[in-house]
Amino acid sequence: MNWISKTRGIAILAVLLIHVNAPLLYEGQGSIWWLGHIFDSMSRLAVPLFLMISGALLLHKEEPVNHYIEKRATKILIPFIVWSVIYFVCKSSGELNVKIFIQQFLNAKIYYHLWYFYILIPLYIFIPFLRKFIKTIPSSYILLYAVISSGISTINDVIGIYGLNMQIFSNPFSVGVSYLLLGYVIARREYELKHYQVYGIVSFLIILLGTYFITMCKGALSQVFYDALGLPVLMYAVMVFYLCKKHLNSGIRTYNSRFLEYIGKYSFGIYLVHPLLLSLMQKLPLLSISALSGNPYIMMPVTFIVVLFTSLLFIIPLSKIPILKRIT
């Protein structure tokens, strides 16, 4: 399973790329917009990869429920609450209004990247139940469930443009659960996915071209096919996850594999801190750093590299301090 840590490294790099690219996507024109759009489309597998990794690592385990809850609460709830306070205080210019904080915390409005916790925590609550019957579910049923659930999500996104929805069908089909189950199947079973390259490439083209055409029709950026819970992103992410298992599971430790493993080791801390550092870099008085602070073809990769290594320089020392490492 050494490929899992490398896949986690790919996922966090994709998260950074999405956030660094955002100015190109929302403010860029012409070829600059396409630059942001291409990299953004490539990176939409970030959250699905993280969820599939959780399924691969957690669903096969057998442990007392109280032990599971204690471990997950320590690893997830403490960092979630602490960093929610940090981001709230930072965006409120150092002021902590408890009432407003609680309102924004309950409504997932503290900071844009923290939305992931609002998906992850309910799924973690559901994992002990999934463990009870996961071994009896055929892989083909899991794939069917994933296609149905993500398909409903995509249909809702598309018809939502016209003010319609089919929410009544969404409740029994959680795409988050689908990702957990798919991660378990791909990682833990000897299951051969057929034609996964074709489905993955076609799905990526749907994300890329579908977003472009709907954006042109609406006259504003459409994120219908960017949806991490939609069918195109699911199929694309499954292809990459499967490729990671097939090609990153080698015992040969190249420079690239060691780099991905190292990034993967600190991925949670990088995820938590990078938006704060990115915001500070954009507000530097003399040397603002962002994808649009100069030539985007140069500044986008420069910003990406600076954010990545600044995050590492911030997180690595924290992870060595006994108390503070609990929030990284």
Which DSSP state fits 137?
S
Query: Which residue's entry shows tokens 């942001």?
Result: 36
Q: Is the pLDDT of residue 17 over 90?
A: yes
Kindly tell me if the per-residue pLDDT of 222 is higher than 90: no
**Single-letter code of the amino acid located at 65:** V
Q: Which amino acid is at 261?
A: E
The rounded distance, in Å, linking the Cα atoms of 225 and 211 is 6
- Average pLDDT on 178-191 reads 87
Q: Is 95 helix (H, G, I), strand (E, B) or coil?
A: coil
Q: pLDDT-derived band of residue 224, with 50, 70 and 90 as boundaries?
A: confident
DSSP per-residue letters across 251-301: S---HHHHHHHHHHHTHHHHHHHHHHHHHHHHT-SS---STTSS-HHHHHH
DSSP state of 167: G
CA distance 221 to 218: 8
Give me the chain's average pLDDT, please.
86
Structure tokens at 38: 């291409």
Burial class (CB in 10 A: 0-12, 13-18, 19+), 168: exposed
- The closest of 151, 286, 154 to 214, measured between CA atoms, is 154
Query: Residue 7 belongs to what H/E stretch?
Result: helix 3-27
What is residue 167's predicted lDDT score, i.e. its pLDDT? 57
Q: What percent of the chain has pLDDT over 70?
A: 94
**Is 260 in contact with 253 (CB distance < 8 Å)?**
no
What is the tens place of the pLDDT at every residue in 59-81?
888 888 888 888 888 888 889 99
Q: How far is CA 151 from the centre of its chain?
A: 19
